[in-house]
Amino acid sequence: MIPVNTPHLGGNEAAYLQECIETGWISSEGPFIERFESELARYTGRKHAIAVCNGSAALDAAMIALQIGPGDEVIIPTMTIISCAQAVVHVGATPVVVDCDADTWNMTAEGVEAVITPRTKAIMAVHIYGLPVDMSPILALAEKHGLYVIEDAAEVIGQEYKMTNGEAQKCGSLGDISTFSFYPNKHITTGEGGMVLTDDDALAARCRSARNLFFKSGRRFVHDELGYNLRMTNMQAAMGVAQFERLDWAIQRKREIGHLYQELLADHPMIQLPLPNTEYAENIYWVFGMVLNDDIGFDADEAMARLGKHQIGTRPFFWCMHEQPVFRKMGLYEGLKCPVAERLARRGFYVPSGLALTDKEIYEVAETVKKEIR
């Protein structure tokens, strides 16, 4: 079996975890948490980084910090993970979805602008599958309308975005508040884990309080607000520190994987491959996705089943938020159509692209794709 993802744990992970065990710092307090936070803040050029238990929790903390609530609208891409929409719903606000670009698979400023209303409170820009959202026009829109920008950078840790002035900025530094995920398929993994990043002192303070049940300063077990237990453990942070030490290698390896797939599948007439670059970014290939041409007589589910018979792991693209049964039951998105995202959801999937993948396995996957998808 060639798994769709296998993490690479070839650094100091075991040594740092052993240190946690020997010192007894295994819970949500300990030196590795502060170290992990400070290193990610410095790397992204952020003033604050707040470690949490997973990427979904990071989005929850961002919503609470921004005090988004009932009556507010947050614009999100329809093709994304449900964590983005549910973070909005959890605080009583409404997620307003937009279609995506057929080539980059990301939301566009034009799509966002078309759905801004007096109730819009924030734009959640979610970078999809290795290429970032074109952020300069999104940031301009937010400034024009007085909106917050929440940047979900879970899939592009280490990616850079080229601003319109030519300056390169790290993804994770491009919104009022940004989030990372450290799930095992990310460039840095802590097993489960996440991070909230911001330059705003007040937002950072609210995130830290929200992740720790809003314990009142000076008097523990007294609470003025309801929060969550979103804390990251010192053991998770120890893994994160070890992984961060090898982030440059991880980015280089991801791009090597992506470039080799591009070379091997370049002449395939029946599939759309990811864009290698745009005018504002070079693809970091978090995963290697592909989209079946419309003249192929089967969909992504059939393609994945065919590859599965050869013991090749795959995953489908995200299912559109406006087609999620849970949101339809809430009366959301009735009659809404997002044709680009709907097509990608049905005809898009990705192949093995984890950091432990070997070149030999890439050749095997590519040959099988060419054989089975005709």
Mean of per-residue pLDDT scores for the chain: 97
284 contacts 291 by C-beta, under 8 angstroms? no
Q: What is the DSSP string of 193-245?
A: -EEEEES-HHHHHHHHHHTBTTEETTEEEEESS---B-BPPHHHHHHHHHHHT
How much is the pLDDT for 159? 97
d(CA 248, CA 284): 11
Of the residues 186, 309, 360, 370, only one is catalytic, namely 186
Q: Characterize the bridge pairing of strands 177-181 and 148-152.
A: parallel
Alpha-carbon 303 to chain mean position: 25
Q: Tell me if residue 118 falls in helix, strand or coil.
A: coil
What is the per-residue pLDDT across 91-150, written as a single tens digit (0 to 9) for each? 999 999 999 999 999 999 999 999 999 999 999 999 999 999 999 999 999 999 999 999
How much is the pLDDT for 68? 98
Q: Tell me if residue 259 falls in helix, strand or coil.
A: helix
Determine the average pLDDT of the residues in 185-199.
Answer: 97
Alpha-carbon 290 to chain mean position: 18
144 contacts 168 by C-beta, under 8 angstroms? no
329 catalytically annotated: no
Q: What is the DSSP string of 269-322?
A: TTEEPPPSEETTEE---SSEEEEE-TTSSS-HHHHHHHHHTTTB--EEPPPPGG
**Among 223, 193, 200, residue whose Cα is nearest residue 210:** 223
**Among 114, 52, 127, 113, residue whose Cα is nearest residue 84:** 127
Determine the average pLDDT of the residues in 15-35.
Answer: 96
Superfamily of domain 247-372: Aspartate Aminotransferase, domain 1 (3.90.1150.10)
The crossing angle, in degrees rounded to 10, of helices 55-65 and 82-90 is 40
How much is the pLDDT for 40? 98
Determine the average pLDDT of the residues in 232-245.
Answer: 98
What is the per-residue pLDDT across 261-288, written as a single tens digit (0 to 9) for each? 999 999 999 999 999 999 999 999 999 9
Q: Residue 374: is its pLDDT beyond 90?
A: no
Structural tokens at position 233 = 């453990």
Residues of the chain with pLDDT > 90, as a percent, come to 95
Residues facing residue 49 across a β-bridge: 197
Confidence of residue 241 (pLDDT cuts 50, 70, 90): very high
316 contacts 345 by C-beta, under 8 angstroms? yes
Q: Residue 212: is its pLDDT beyond 90?
A: yes
Structural tokens at position 358 = 């070997």
Confidence of residue 217 (pLDDT cuts 50, 70, 90): confident
What is the per-residue pLDDT across 334-365, written as a single tens digit (0 to 9) for each? 999 999 999 999 999 999 999 999 999 999 99
Residues of the chain with pLDDT > 70, as a percent, come to 100
User: What single DSSP character describes residue 21?
Assistant: H
Confidence of residue 164 (pLDDT cuts 50, 70, 90): confident
Q: Which residues contact 20 (CB under 8 A, 6 or more apart)?
A: 26, 30, 32, 234, 235, 238
Q: CA separation (Å) from 276 to 93, 148, 247, 258, 332?
A: 36, 30, 20, 8, 35
How much is the pLDDT for 276? 97
Structural tokens at position 65 = 């910090």
What topology does CATH give the domain 13-244? Aspartate Aminotransferase; domain 2 (3.40.640)
Q: Residue 218: is its pLDDT beyond 90?
A: no
Phi, psi of 60 (to 5 degrees): -60, -45
Q: Characterize the bridge pairing of strands 271-272 and 94-98.
A: unpaired
**Domain residue ranges of the chain, discontinuous segments joined by +:** 13-244, 247-372
